[in-house]
Amino acid sequence: MSLQVAESAIQQAEHADEAGGGLWREAFRRLVRKPAAIIGAIFVAIFVIVAVFAPLIAPYSPTATDLSQIKGPGHIPGPSSTHWLGLDDLGRDVFSRMIYGARQSLVVGVVSMAFGMVGGIILGLLAGGLGGWVDATIMRFVDMMLAIPGLLFAIGIAAMLGQSLVSVMIAIGVVNIPVFARLLRGQMLAQREADYALAAKSLGVKRSRIILGHVFPNSLSPVIVQGTLTLATAIIEAAGLAFLGLSGADPAIPEWGRMLADTQKFLTSAPQLVFYPGIAIVLSALGFTLLGESLREALDPKNRR
């Protein structure tokens, strides 16, 4: 009899895993009917395609200068048939620099998000799976990290590590670790109280099998959604750190945040140089935000009919 009950508990856990897969399929069906999700997906798709195929799309090298086009100090050539978005103060093609800037933003966003997610998953798994003093210690450490404003924390880490793109990615990733850790820990605590987990525990199923085989996989959906939203904030934070001069040491490498900083002095004579990277940052972040929020709503059980 006990064996039958144990098998029933394992079957409930397997059904919960299968339901997780069905949940994603159902969420996808909801997403394709949401205008906000479609708009966000279009923005994200354009951003990713431009970043991946930058060498094929950009008509010029982003670092090539043509000072013969500059007539004098303060002269900024505007858009033309050969340079669609014009040139900057060093005679570099703005359109090509915008395209390569998308690649930099995508790399920073994905790497920093992955770094923060992996670190947060490790801490959340330890806290939610082991509990007790391990949970209390990790959560107090997480609370201390969350007590510091995110951007200020990132600036401090990037300044301490030195001026480089790797420093920016590490700084943004570290700032996002506590967000993922708290989210996963909370989901795991809820899943640990599910019927299948309690039944399996009462019948002597190994705790590691319950946690790693069923509780952890069924707790990942909100973490994945948060990863989409974190990409939006990572792009904005990367632009902010680049604006402050904390990104790569080579100023010739195009970055949207650095482009904003370098063109402040041309706000009156050539405001388009500020407009282009600014609108690119807004639209890319907006795309990930719309997609992430729509995915969160699609996975919310309260919105099911």
Task: For residue 210, give Cα distances in angstroms to 21, 49, 54, 159.
Answer: 18, 41, 46, 43
The predicted structure's pLDDT at residue 1: 39
List, in sequence order, every residue forming a beta bridge with 93; answer none if it has no partner: 87
Condensed to tens digits (0 to 9), the pLDDT of residues 197-213 reads 777 777 777 888 888 88
pLDDT band at 18 (very low <50, low <70, confident <90, very high): very low
The predicted structure's pLDDT at residue 304: 55
Using CA atoms, how far apart are residues 249 and 166, in angstroms rounded to an integer? 11
The predicted structure's pLDDT at residue 5: 46
Domains held by the chain: number:
1
* 150, part of any domain: yes
* 6, part of any domain: no
Token representation of residue 219: 């707790």
266, 272, 276, 277 alpha-carbon torsion, rounded to 10° = 10
Backbone angles phi, psi at 75, to 5 degrees: -85, 125
Condensed to tens digits (0 to 9), the pLDDT of residues 19-76 reads 455 666 787 788 888 889 999 999 999 999 999 999 999 999 998 888 777 777 767 8
Percentage of the chain exceeding pLDDT 70: 89
Task: For residue 14, give Cα distances in angstroms to 8, 9, 19, 200.
Answer: 10, 9, 9, 12
The predicted structure's pLDDT at residue 265: 82
Condensed to tens digits (0 to 9), the pLDDT of residues 110-138 reads 999 999 999 999 999 999 888 889 999 99
259-274 mean pLDDT: 84
The predicted structure's pLDDT at residue 167: 92
85-104 mean pLDDT: 91
* 74, part of any domain: no
pTM over 0.75: yes
Whether residue 266 has pLDDT greater than 90: no
* 217, part of any domain: yes
CB count within 10 Å of CB 164 equals 15
Percentage of the chain exceeding pLDDT 90: 45
pLDDT band at 303 (very low <50, low <70, confident <90, very high): low
The predicted structure's pLDDT at residue 178: 95
Condensed to tens digits (0 to 9), the pLDDT of residues 179-193 reads 999 999 999 988 887
Task: For residue 241, give Cα distances in angstroms to 93, 113, 115, 261.
Answer: 23, 16, 17, 10
The predicted structure's pLDDT at residue 22: 64
* 234, part of any domain: yes
CATH code: domain of residue 128: 1.10.3720.10
* 10, part of any domain: no
Whether residue 17 has pLDDT greater than 60: no
Task: Print the domain residue range for 164.
Answer: 23-65+82-303
**Residue, of 64 and 3, whose pLDDT is higher:** 64
The predicted structure's pLDDT at residue 6: 47
* 131, part of any domain: yes
**Residue, of 253 and 168, whose pLDDT is higher:** 168
* 237, part of any domain: yes
136-153 mean pLDDT: 92
Token representation of residue 7: 């098998």
In contact, 270 and 263? CB cutoff 8 Å: yes
Half-sphere exposure of 92 (CA within 13 A, CB side): 21
Using CA atoms, how far apart are residues 162 and 185, in angstroms rounded to an integer? 33
CB count within 10 Å of CB 201 equals 14
The predicted structure's pLDDT at residue 245: 84
Provide the mean pLDDT of the chain.
85
